[in-house]
Structure 1
C-alpha cells in the first residue's frame, strides 16, 4: 500500500438531539444471512467506487443528507484514498446489526471488553435499523479500515457514515504498538518506547470520533507519562562530548522502509559533509556510543539509520546532508 500514514477522512451526518430508547445488537455470524448478503452488495459498491476513483458511484449508496454534506469534498477524498489502496485485498473485520425502538438514539457496539484489540464504536442512530460494516483493505504489512454505517430507509439501506483510517502499520495496530512500547519501557529503552507509542497514537482512532479502543485511556496515560520522562532526561540538541568533533544529536524517530520501521538518528556535524572519509569516521564513533546515550537503541532491531546535517535545518532552506546505514548483528 502506498504510504497512507495517518490518513484520516471524515464523512458523517451530524445531529443535534438524542432521544431515549432501547436497542438490540447482533454481531457477525449471528446476523441474518439474507441481511448480510444485502449489505455485502452495498459494501462492494463502496469498494468499487474507491478502487475505481468514482465518487458518483459512491453517491448512489449515500443517504440524501450525507450527499448534501459531502458534495463539496467527496471527489478529492475518493481520489486521495483511491490512489493509496490500488492492489489491496479486502476482508470484513466485524459487522453489527442494531434494531432501535426509536430514532435519534445513541448506539454503541463493542468487539469485546478485555481483549488487547477490543474496541467500541459509538454513533447516533437516525434510523430504527442500523448496520455497521468494518472492512480492512490489506496490502503487505499495512491495513486501512473502511467504516460503513448504514441506516434502513423506506427505499432501502443507505450510507449514513463513512470513515477511512489507518488500522495497521507494519503489521501492528495501536494496542499492539502499545504492548511493544510497554515491553521497551520495562527494559529501560525509553526512546524505542516513545517511538512505538507515537505510532500507537497515530493509529488510535481509525474511525475518528466514532472509534475508541477499550484501553484508550490506559494507552494515553502511559504515553503522557512516558513523554514526560523522556523530556526530563533528554534535551535536544544533545551534544556528544565524548567525541572530539562534538556532533550534536538533533532528533531520533522511526524511518519507514520496505522491511519495516527503524530508528533514524539525525545529528549536526562540524565536519565538511563532502569529506566522506572523515564523516564516516565520525559516524562510526557515534554509532559505537549511541547505545550509551539512548539505552537499547542499538538492540533488538536489524538496522540503525543516521543522517548528518551541515547545519540545523529550519524547514525552509535546503541543508546539505549525508546518510549512513548500520546493520546490527
Structure 2
C-alpha cells in the first residue's frame, strides 16, 4: 500500500513554539501516556501548558503561533477557539489522556483507550500528517456534575508541530458519561418508567461525542432506547395528560430536560386554568401536582436533586407568546 506523506507545505516564518520537537520513533504505531518517549512527551506538555494558558487568558496572538497554516486560513476557527477558550475559563483543566501516533497512510486511523471499562473509547481520525499528537483535557475537579472535554490535535508539519484542530464538547452530565446515562435509561425502561427513561437517554445523546473523533468502544445505542422510550411514553401517557388527582385538572403537554448550575433535571410543562398573574395560586396548585407527579410519570422525581415546572396559560402554538410561570423545586 502506498505511503502518502510528501513534505509539500512551504515553511512559515516567525516564532514557532514547537520547532524543538524532533521525532525519535520511526516505525508506525501509537503510544499512549507514559508509553510516549520521555523527551518528546515533555515537549508536548510544554505545548499543552502554553495552549491552556493562552486559552484562559484569551491570548489570540499567541494561540495563532500554535496554529497550523490550515487552521489560520480557516476563519471559522476563530469562533471555535473563542468557544474552547470560554470552556477553559470555567474550570482548571488537566491532561486526561494523550496519544502520540506515527501514521502509515492518510486514510482513517484509530487509537484507543481500552482500560476505562464501560467508558473505554477510540479516536477515529484522518492521518493528515505522518506524525500526530492528541491531548484530551478534563476539569481537575472530578466532582463537577457537568464536565466539558477540551481536545487538541497536533500534527508535525514541515514547519514544526502545530495545532491541526481544537474543540470542546460535553463529557459528563450529572456526573455521568454517555454510557453510564445509557445504562440508567435502560434500567428505567426495564422498570416501565418510560418518560424518565426517555429523559435519561436524551442526556446520554447530549454527551455521546466529547470530541470530533470520539467513539465509545461499547457503543450503546442511546438513539434506539430514546426512540423506544419516546414511543412507549406516547403510547402509555397520551399527551396532553390530564392530572385528574388535582381538582383544577391541569394538563401536562410536554416534558424535557433543563439545566441549572447543579446539572440537568426534568422540566414539566403544563397548562393551568389558574390565572398566571396570581402566582400564589399557581404555586399552591403546583404543590398538589408535585404530590402526584410520580404516579403520573413513574420515576421522574426519583433520585433527582431538582425538578422544574412551567405553568402556562394555554397550549403554546406557533411562535406566539404564552403567559407562563416557572418554578424550581429542590428535591434533596
2:33 paired with 1:31: no
2:210 paired with 1:206: yes
Q: Rate the CA distance shift 1:298–1:75 in 2: closer, same or farther, 3 A.
A: closer
Aligned to 1:313: 316
2:325 paired with 1:322: yes
2:228 paired with 1:225: yes
Distance in 1 separating the partners of 2:51 and 2:31:
23
Q: Pick from 272, 276, 283: which aligns with 1:273? A: 276
Q: Pick from 128, 131, 145: which aligns with 2:130? A: 128
3-state SS, counterpart of residue 232 of structure 1: helix
Q: Rate the CA distance shift 1:142–1:324 in 2: closer, same or farther, 3 A.
A: closer
1:93-172 aligned within 5 A: 93-101=96-104, 103-112=105-114, 115-137=117-139, 140-172=144-176
Aligned to 1:263: 266
Structure 2 unaligned runs (5+)? 6-26
2:286 paired with 1:283: yes
Q: Rate the CA distance shift 1:183–1:99 in 2: closer, same or farther, 3 A.
A: same
Distance in 1 separating the partners of 2:225 and 2:94:
32
Superposed CA RMSD:
2.7
2:183 paired with 1:179: yes
Report the CA distance between 1:122 and its aligned residue: 1.0
Q: Rate the CA distance shift 1:138–1:185 in 2: closer, same or farther, 3 A.
A: farther
Report the CA distance between 1:325 and its aligned residue: 4.5
Tell whether the 8 Å contact from 1:55 to 1:74 is kept in structure 2 after alignment.
Answer: no
Q: Rate the CA distance shift 1:222–1:215 in 2: closer, same or farther, 3 A.
A: farther
Aligned to 1:5: none
Aligned to 2:72: 67
Structure 1 unaligned runs (5+)? 1-17
The number of aligned residues is: 308
Report the CA distance between 1:260 and its aligned residue: 3.2
Report the CA distance between 1:32 and its aligned residue: 0.7
Give the TM-score of the pair, scaled to structure 1: 0.83
Distance in 1 separating the partners of 2:247 and 2:88:
49
Q: Rate the CA distance shift 1:182–1:192 in 2: closer, same or farther, 3 A.
A: same
